[in-house]
Amino acid sequence: MNGTDLAARIREDVGREAEELGGASLATVLVGDDPASHIYIERKHEAARGVGIETRDIRLPATTGEDEVMALVDELNADDGVDGILVQLPLPSQIDEVRVTHAVDPVKDVDGFHPVNAGHLYLGTPLHTPATAWGCMELLHEYGIGIAGAEAVVIGRSEIVGRPVSMLLLTEHATVTICHSRTHDLAAHTRSADILVAAVGRPWLVTPDMVKPGATVIDVGINRTEDGLRGDVDPAVAEVAGFMTPVPGGVGPMTIALLLRSTLKAARFRRGLLAFRGA
């Protein structure tokens, strides 16, 4: 399953829609020196500029206090020129991530981490959806994978990927099992999956013997190892699976494309073109 091509098509659509809308804007907040975070932010800005979304790139030193970040979030919430706000995680340890992510105006919360957005996802009426989870669903749609009635097994229960993708699968009528680090006999669950989503952060955790022949396997994992970039799924699983996403080139590019789509959604919410039912 080729996430690079699908993401490129989504970016083209977003570019067209952004023009029709008369533009949209995204503000990002990055605190500290985490090299991976700086790379992610660069990529998000480059992608946004590429589709005509205006960006504001706010970077603060690692020593920044929580009050300062909270004041900045308040300022961005009140700024009429900002449609979407993204606070890059992780934040340095002196800052309470929950407090900060919950302070973002839910209408501008393009990451979908605010409890209003998480709650709507739970209710089956998503407003802003975390981009990686949304990307997994778009890949399933693109390849015509039957979701209604399918046995879907998600490994991982993080707020960023595991939980939201489980809720989206449930909303589309899959029978969903969520596995995590306390799950007994993980393989017994994964072998029953028609759709298997691995969002764990353990290189090549999923091996061919854990996968039902013909299953669809979505590998969310991005693990930097001494031997290079590894997904959560052993590439040998491709011999058993019916469909599978590669790493890189699968879910990764989808995340950025759907962040751009979320920014457009925020712009539509703010212009009254889409109803934000959580407000």
Least distance (Å) from ligand NAP to the CB of residue 146? Answer: 23
Nearest approach, Cβ of 83 to ligand NAP (angstroms)? 22
Query: Which of 210/267 has CB closer to ligand NAP?
Result: 210
Q: Catalytic residue at 44?
A: yes
Q: Which residues contact 10 (CB under 8 A, 6 or more apart)?
A: 138, 254, 257, 258, 260, 261
- For ligand NAP, the closer CB: 171 or 183: 183
**Which chain residues interact with ligand NAP by CB under 6 A?**
132, 155-158, 160-162, 179-183, 186, 199-202, 220-223, 251-252, 255
Our CB check for ligand NAP shows the closer of 189 and 265 to be 189
Catalytic residue at 111? yes
Beta strands in 61-212 (DSSP E): 84-87, 151-155, 175-179, 195-198
Q: For residue 224, what is the enclosing H or E element? A: strand 223-225
Say if strands 25-31 and 84-87 run parallel, antiparallel, or are unpaired. Answer: parallel
Going from the C-alpha of 204 to that of each of 12, 52, 231, 235, 258, the distances in angstroms are 33, 37, 6, 8, 26
- Classify 243 as helix, strand or coil: strand
Terminal C-alpha separation, the chain = 37
Least CB distance from residue 74 to ligand NAP, whole Å? 27
Residue 88 appears among annotated catalytic residues: yes
CB 189 within 8 A of CB 151: no
DSSP helix/strand/coil, 144: coil
At 120, list the tokens.
Answer: 């709507």
Q: Of the two residues 78 and 225, which places its CB atom closer to ligand NAP in the complex?
A: 225
**What does each C-alpha distance from 57 to 18, 49, 88, 216 come to in angstroms?**
19, 12, 11, 38
Residue (233 or 241) nearer to ligand NAP, CB: 233
CB of 268 to ligand NAP, least distance (A): 24
Which of 109, 111, 194, 234 is an active site residue? 111
What kind and span of H or E run contains 50? Answer: helix 35-50
**Closest separation between CB of residue 241 and ligand NAP, Å?**
18
Which residue in the shown chain puts its C-beta closest to ligand NAP? 158
Which positions are catalytic? Answer: 44, 88, 111
